[in-house]
Structure 1
């Protein structure tokens, strides 16, 4: 048997937390189909474009058909994905007239460059001609292309975490390729909060906990409703959002970059949620508890965060200050002193 430092390194069991797939030599495969389907829907649903004539929005993703997988061989990641996507878009003019149409992307594949994607945008039969159709065909198509490019980036960063295992010195060497070595469109979907996803070596994610407090010039009942009412969330985030204001209900806001689930609701007193940024390690959620305290003419909001990745602590704090606290105060006039 080979000793440490001698012989073929493929067969040396290194001093590490697990002794599987030493030096990442053996072929491993991970099915990314279900993850990809959810990711594609989250990136496309609610995507919108706007002009002086009105606004267009992707209101339904009716079909995400295909498959995806990631393979690791000799420390090299190989990506396979092929998707046929169909969606529905709705346009609303400034005059309040609504139009409906369809979107189809038949060839999202590792064999095609992003600029080669076929993005078909059509207007439903019997719908009158509208300038919003041109808006969706041009700016809408480009935004869809950008979102699909983000899917590929997330597949190569978020989903693959843990596939390249750390070696004796704790370093994971990461290489990646695709079936056709296609160039990847580096254009990312615009995000108020997103940053490049951190590379994870497959070990347990170090996390932190912290708390924040702020005061709002309103009642606990009114402030409680702000977090659970979809129209109010869309108002303070200045964009489309999905909010199911009930226990077990899902939420998604800030262009899909923040999402999660309400796990506990005590009317006018407390909200507990599973919460994450889109660029956090796959399936990792923090627990956020909001407590609403009546302070006579004010409401003190206490935010307790647990399970936030260490590397994301400052970004998370800043995000809550800017996109929750300050945005709510400015939108609804609840401005008050900050602790």
Structure 2
């Protein structure tokens, strides 16, 4: 091991208490995962979003999966964080109603690779009705921006907190005889923290105050609800399998299909034009999905509930779909009929064969 004053100074261990990472040349790393989980939990504990006659509250972080680290290499700070969050929220209309409605927010891609405005936030509700759909649209149009601001607070604080002491001053940098170059090194940690924090756009940062009053963002999406019934000449188990088994879904859609029929599992049909998640599954009885078309507004999902009732000679299927963009309503009704019910009857022999087309 070389002594101070000999050899390449980048690799010398100085006579100093820590005796490590001289001139900040070596890779050093801090684990920011525990701190991040605690901070994200704090930022979304009883976080209020209020506007005129609507009040919504992010009650807590239900799931927080991922990691965060901060590294120093050659005096440069490198931040890695990758999180998937699930938040529980509730809301109510302040006028003419005392009912509270619950839902979830899913954030699958909070990472240094994505800008805050590109972070996906999915809004769902537990039970669909006129009031809850209004709250859902509020969280979509207004709430998501406030959530992104809280995420911006986390990123800013991560970069400030974990810049400290990662870039170390050189030998004698604190002495009165330090050179201008050494004096510059003393400020490296402070400057690095400031530079890192400056990477977060000012508009993306809000106070960590849990009470937020927002101005209108975007426009309200006009949505419709659809209910339709269909009778199938089969038992409930066969129809349930046709809607949940990958090989059977592939058969009636006539295209490769991804179907993971478990709670939270994803489905992707018709080349990605239809996709979503299973929210609830009751074999032979009920299928509930967060469902969307590819061309809908980013992050907007409808709620689909398919209920099956077996009779002595057939199975009655009732579909109830809420949150359909008004411009898609007519086409939606026709497409369920054409590409689901008629196709299922033709492929599996569950009913009289009809010509492909709306009724």
Q: Which runs of 5+ in 2 are unaligned?
A: 175-185, 194-198, 213-359
- Shift of residue 132, structure 1, vs aligned partner: 2.5
- Shift of residue 188, structure 1, vs aligned partner: 1.6
Q: CA–CA distance in 1 between the matches of 2:124 and 2:135? A: 11
Correspondence for 1:169: 173
Alignment of 1:54-93 (within 5 A): 54-93=54-93
Larger RCO: Structure 1 or Structure 2 (Cα < 8 Å, ≥ 6 residues apart)? 1
- Deviation string, structure 1 residues 257-308 (Cα, Å, up to 9, x no partner): xxxxxxxxxxxxxxxxxxxxxxxxxxxxxxxxxxxxxxxxxxxxxxxxxxxx
Correspondence for 2:25: 25
Q: CA–CA distance in 2 between the matches of 1:79 and 1:36? A: 13
Q: Secondary structure at the match of 1:26?
A: coil
Tell whether the 8 Å contact from 1:164 to 1:172 is kept in structure 2 after alignment. no
Q: In the alignment, is residue 40 of structure 1 matched against residue 40 of structure 2?
A: yes
Q: In the alignment, is residue 159 of structure 1 matched against residue 174 of structure 2?
A: no
Tell whether the 8 Å contact from 2:104 to 2:124 is kept in structure 1 after alignment. yes
Which structure dedicates a bigger proportion of its chain to helix?
Answer: 2
Tell whether the 8 Å contact from 2:105 to 2:124 is kept in structure 1 after alignment. yes
Q: Secondary structure at the match of 2:131?
A: coil
Tell me the matched-pair count: 190
- Shift of residue 73, structure 1, vs aligned partner: 1.1
Give the TM-score of the pair, scaled to structure 1. Answer: 0.50
Tell whether the 8 Å contact from 1:147 to 1:188 is kept in structure 2 after alignment. yes
Cα 1:3/1:82, change in 2 over 3 Å: closer
Q: CA–CA distance in 2 between the matches of 1:87 and 1:37? A: 13
- Shift of residue 134, structure 1, vs aligned partner: 2.2
Correspondence for 1:99: 101
Q: CA–CA distance in 1 between the matches of 2:67 and 2:12? A: 35
Tell whether the 8 Å contact from 1:87 to 1:103 is kept in structure 2 after alignment. yes
- Shift of residue 92, structure 1, vs aligned partner: 2.1
What is the aligned counterpart of 2:136 among 126, 133, 137?
133
Q: CA–CA distance in 2 between the matches of 1:54 and 1:116? A: 26
Tell whether the 8 Å contact from 1:2 to 1:8 is kept in structure 2 after alignment. no
Give the TM-score of the pair, scaled to structure 2. Answer: 0.48
What is the aligned counterpart of 1:116 among 115, 118, 135?
118
Q: CA–CA distance in 2 between the matches of 1:176 and 1:80? A: 15
Q: Secondary structure at the match of 2:155?
A: helix
- Deviation string, structure 1 residues 313-337 (Cα, Å, up to 9, x no partner): xxxxxxxxxxxxxxxxxxxxxxxxx
Tell whether the 8 Å contact from 2:43 to 2:208 is kept in structure 1 after alignment. no
Q: Which of the two has higher C-alpha Rg?
A: 2
Q: CA–CA distance in 1 between the matches of 2:4 and 2:17? A: 19
Alignment of 1:1-339 (within 5 A): 1=2, 3-4=4-5, 7-14=7-14, 16-94=16-94, 95-130=97-132, 131-167=134-170, 168-170=172-174, 171-174=186-189, 184-186=200-202, 187-191=204-208, 239=211
Q: Which runs of 5+ in 1 are unaligned?
A: 178-182, 193-237, 241-339
- Which portions of structure 1, spanning 4 or more consecutive aligned residues, are displaced by more than 3 angstroms? 1-4, 11-17, 126-130, 174-177, 183-186
Q: Secondary structure at the match of 1:129?
A: helix
Tell whether the 8 Å contact from 2:4 to 2:15 is kept in structure 1 after alignment. no
